[in-house]
Amino acid sequence: MAAKMSSTEIPRRKFLVAGSLSVAAACLNPKRLFAQEDALVQKAFKVAAATKLTVQPLRRNVTVLLGPGGNIAVLTGPDGKLLVDAEIFTAQPHVAEALASINGDPIKQLINTHWHFDHTGGNAWLHEAGASILAQENTRKHLLVDTRVEGWFHTFPASPPGALPTTVFKEDHTVHANNSTLVLKHYLPAHTDSDISVHFTEADIFHAGDTFWNRNYPFIDYSTGGSIDGQIRAAEANIAKVTDKMIVIPGHGAVGGKADLLLFRDVLAGIREKVAALKKQGRTLNEIIAAKPGAKTDAEWGNGFKTGDEFVALVYQGV
């Protein structure tokens, strides 16, 4: 289960820190908003084009691909490859290389954990390569039309027909493939309104999508149904579901287990309580940021995707 370390970690972190800083600047200084427009998304495309993925075998026939976008789970066997999530579209050559390094079997199925570009960006080419696409119905709904994410200052254009999920479900769905049973479950609105978990029951591996960021502050997409309280509620649901024996794949960060889910819930809930109390006292966002509600975790958790200050701003928006 030990991760093969890779040189890709360093450039990814550099990008994310740089991207995060520009978002923070835009948040704190609205006049600069236009100039900073979607720098983070544009940078993500560039970094994904230049970053190799790390291939980490987990248990039985499940492997995880760790890269600059969302973590991809790969289930192998006689039915061909089944993927959970599809990375950023510019990661295509690196995803293809990583998949080929597992075996030469064709790509047959793709499940999206939610609609975001760093999880669905590869839908079109994977569909062309032979995958049918399955997702919660809100994933299809958002991909069908131009969709603005205020937190990224970016409007994502409607996806081409080939990138759209061909099968959707509302709450629960079961997939049988490669002598495995996959149980899919929709969360109540959490990180978005389209989040699902995928449990590989025989391997006992749980992909939580972006309801779980391992030792990283999460992005929360208020534009498509996400909220801090929803994110915490999903963390509670994961804790209730996951056993000590399960391997847990986060949307972002290293593969973990139940203890990491507990920590994630505690960190989010702790910061939420502090921010809510200060906001209730009438403190401004800048005053609350200066109070450093995440002082204990900022150095580690704010080092990648969201700085501590940006995460406080996301929490402030929802309490």
Q: Note whether 85 binds Zn ion by CB under 5 A.
A: no
Q: Which stretch binds Zn ion (CB under 5 A): 72-80, 111-119, 171-179, 255-263?
A: 111-119
Name the residue nearer to Zn ion (CB basis): 120 or 297: 120
Q: Which of 94, 116, 127, 142 contacts Zn ion by CB under 5 A?
A: 116
CB of 119 to Zn ion, least distance (A): 6
CB of 121 to Zn ion, least distance (A): 11
Name the residue nearer to Zn ion (CB basis): 210 or 229: 210
Angle at Cα 134 formed by Cα 128 and Cα 139, nearest 5°?
A: 105
Q: Which residues of 6-27 are buried (b: 16+ CB within 10 A; e: fewer)?
A: bebeeebeebbeebbbbbbebb
Name the residue nearer to Zn ion (CB basis): 112 or 297: 112
Name the residue nearer to Zn ion (CB basis): 112 or 307: 112
Distances (CA, A) of 30 to 26, 107, 226, 275, 315: 6, 45, 22, 21, 18
Q: Note whether 210 binds Zn ion by CB under 5 A.
A: yes
Q: Which stretch binds Zn ion (CB under 5 A): 57-65, 113-121, 195-203, 306-314?
A: 113-121
CB of 117 to Zn ion, least distance (A): 8
Long-range contacts of 123-130 (CB under 8 A, 24+ apart): 123/86, 123/159, 123/162, 123/163, 123/164, 123/165, 124/89, 124/159, 124/160, 124/162, 124/163, 125/89, 125/92, 126/83, 126/86, 127/162, 127/163, 128/162, 130/80, 130/106
Name the residue nearer to Zn ion (CB basis): 38 or 79: 38
Name the residue nearer to Zn ion (CB basis): 151 or 278: 151
User: Count residues contacting Zn ion (CB under 5 A)?
Assistant: 2
Q: Which stretch binds Zn ion (CB under 5 A): 20-28, 204-212, 229-237, 265-273?
A: 204-212
Distances (CA, A) of 74 to 81, 92, 108: 7, 15, 11
Q: Which of residues 18-47 bind Zn ion (CB under 5 A)?
A: none
Q: Which stretch binds Zn ion (CB under 5 A): 37-45, 148-156, 170-178, 207-215?
A: 207-215
Name the residue nearer to Zn ion (CB basis): 116 or 265: 116
Q: Which stretch binds Zn ion (CB under 5 A): 61-69, 202-210, 224-232, 262-270?
A: 202-210
Q: Which stretch binds Zn ion (CB under 5 A): 56-64, 91-99, 115-123, 297-305?
A: 115-123
Radius of gyration of the chain (CA): 19
CB of 80 to Zn ion, least distance (A): 26
Q: Note whether 193 binds Zn ion by CB under 5 A.
A: no
CB of 114 to Zn ion, least distance (A): 6
| Rounded Cα distance, 33 and 101, in Å | 42
CB of 149 to Zn ion, least distance (A): 9
Bridge-partner residues for 172, per DSSP? 185
SS3 23: helix
DSSP label at 256? B
- By CB atoms closer than 10 A (0-12, 13-18, 19+), residue 72 is buried
Name the residue nearer to Zn ion (CB basis): 109 or 194: 194
DSSP label at 68? S
Measure the CA dihedral 83/87/89/91, to 10°. Answer: -100
Note the residues at the interface with Zn ion (CB under 5 A).
116, 210
